[in-house]
Structure 1
């Protein structure tokens, strides 16, 4: 099949990007091309050397949904679109084939398992292993009651979608602060389609965020759930979050990492505060929202 791997870039680690490209291109089962859409990297000329196709946009043009939609439109010969972030590294050359294998019939999209990088802190490693278990799962309207808001979880860190189905479902929402992937999955599922979590397709991906970064990221998550509450059933987010914290603390206790439990509780509290502030973003002036937001560019021109 003809596959286009779409990677938005901005000052990426050249080592990670080179590993990403080399491993997806090493796949022999499909015709794979890499399209990088760059929003002002300092080393854009080097990034051009990695990509089969390179598109440059201004930093002000970047939009989590719109930028990916633009790249998808330009990938006219592709049958399958794979969306990846610049810091996701496939564990081997089999990732592409395993990721797109579930697509067909009602399964319109799939996303990969994320494993923590070697430098991941213990809490971050637990987060990845909790959110991305070793067992694959199909999610659709039949699983909504069981999974709640997690039914719509979907990640563009590494995802695949049938291109025709992607556009028939309207693509990603544009002018969105983040979680364009989750919004797409919710729309697909509510239109009778299925999403596959492909646990056998694996990438290395993790972040060692500071508490301030965690606050800012979860502020943006709160903004998303405020704006897309109806689509993703935001009323159940608190229950899912509390369950995750309990699972995290339980895992730490099981590993004998008692000294890290206070850090886990503190981090959970910071995330909760960030989320709650984001849910109430309309109470704050734009200049304050920018300071609390990880994606401060989103607030440009907004009131």
Structure 2
């Protein structure tokens, strides 16, 4: 397996040494190169990336889609693996498990995300809901079974055959967020499949302020409005209700009463942000 790992970087100096070292420790892989497009940062991100990546270069105007696409054009591997700077592989088989089932039919896959131990119970439960320990195949045939999750795909840790990536148009577009959802939808429209692979595991979670959460969901609302004619988002609200019920139920089981109150505020902020983005 010849793999190109693409990791956009912004103010990521503290992550790069450990992350890229862990990437290079991955087993059963013949060739790994790391490509780091670095947005102008206030720390030493570019210098650190130059130390630990095979190719690091400065990006003037970052875009979630276009920047990743331009990095993919520089790749020498047969597989393109996209990660974010704040993930960490759980073990040395993360990459092999992500790639092992890819072929001309199953052209892409994404990893299970597990919350970092230092993050709160709510974030852990949200990760558990969105990234369960159950493999899922997403394609036209499974659209009814999977519902909204049929286009759920995250390039915080994902892989795709390079030839298929470019056949599908890759990330060659300007987008405010959710470039990975567009790619997932394009895979399904092409008649191919992608896999949610729970045996490929990374640590990844956030500790966002309510203000940041509002901005994040405003961006998602804008994105879904922008692409509403191309992508079916009709199950979004239903999936949100399932997440809320799952989280509250498990918080009650754990006796986390204060967290339930905070989660109520968090859900309201998400909804307000999303609705604002839809306007």
Distance in 2, Cα, partners of 1:273 & 1:28: 45
CA contact (8 A) 1:229 1:235 kept: no
Aligned to 2:170: 171
Distance in 2, Cα, partners of 1:159 & 1:257: 33
Q: CA 1:123–1:234 in 2, change beyond 3 Å: closer, same or farther?
A: same
CA contact (8 A) 1:187 1:231 kept: no
Aligned to 2:87: 88
3-state DSSP of counterpart to 1:232? coil
- For structure 1, the residue ranges without an aligned partner over 5 or more in a row are 281-303
Aligned to 2:74: 74
Distance in 2, Cα, partners of 1:243 & 1:143: 19
* Structural RMSD (CA): 1.2
Q: What TM-score, normalized by structure 1, do the two folds share?
A: 0.88
CA deviation string 1:8-56 (max 9, x = no partner) = 0011142x32222111111242211111110113312122101011121
Q: Of Structure 1 and Structure 2, which has the larger fraction of its residues in helix?
A: 1
3-state DSSP of counterpart to 1:234? coil
CA contact (8 A) 2:224 2:278 kept: yes
**Counterpart check, 1:146 vs 2:145:** yes
Aligned to 1:201: 200
CA deviation string 1:99-124 (max 9, x = no partner) = 11121131111001111112111111
The alignment of Structure 1 onto Structure 2 pairs a total of residues equal to 276
CA contact (8 A) 1:214 1:271 kept: yes
Distance in 1, Cα, partners of 2:234 & 2:200: 31
Distance in 1, Cα, partners of 2:149 & 2:228: 13
Aligned to 1:291: none
Distance in 1, Cα, partners of 2:148 & 2:27: 37
3-state DSSP of counterpart to 1:215? helix
Between stretches 104-113 and 19-28, larger displacement belongs to: 19-28
**Counterpart check, 1:56 vs 2:55:** no
CA contact (8 A) 1:173 1:180 kept: no
**Counterpart check, 1:258 vs 2:260:** no
Distance in 1, Cα, partners of 2:214 & 2:18: 31
3-state DSSP of counterpart to 2:109? strand
**Counterpart check, 1:270 vs 2:269:** yes
Q: What TM-score, normalized by structure 2, do the two folds share?
A: 0.96
Aligned to 1:236: 235
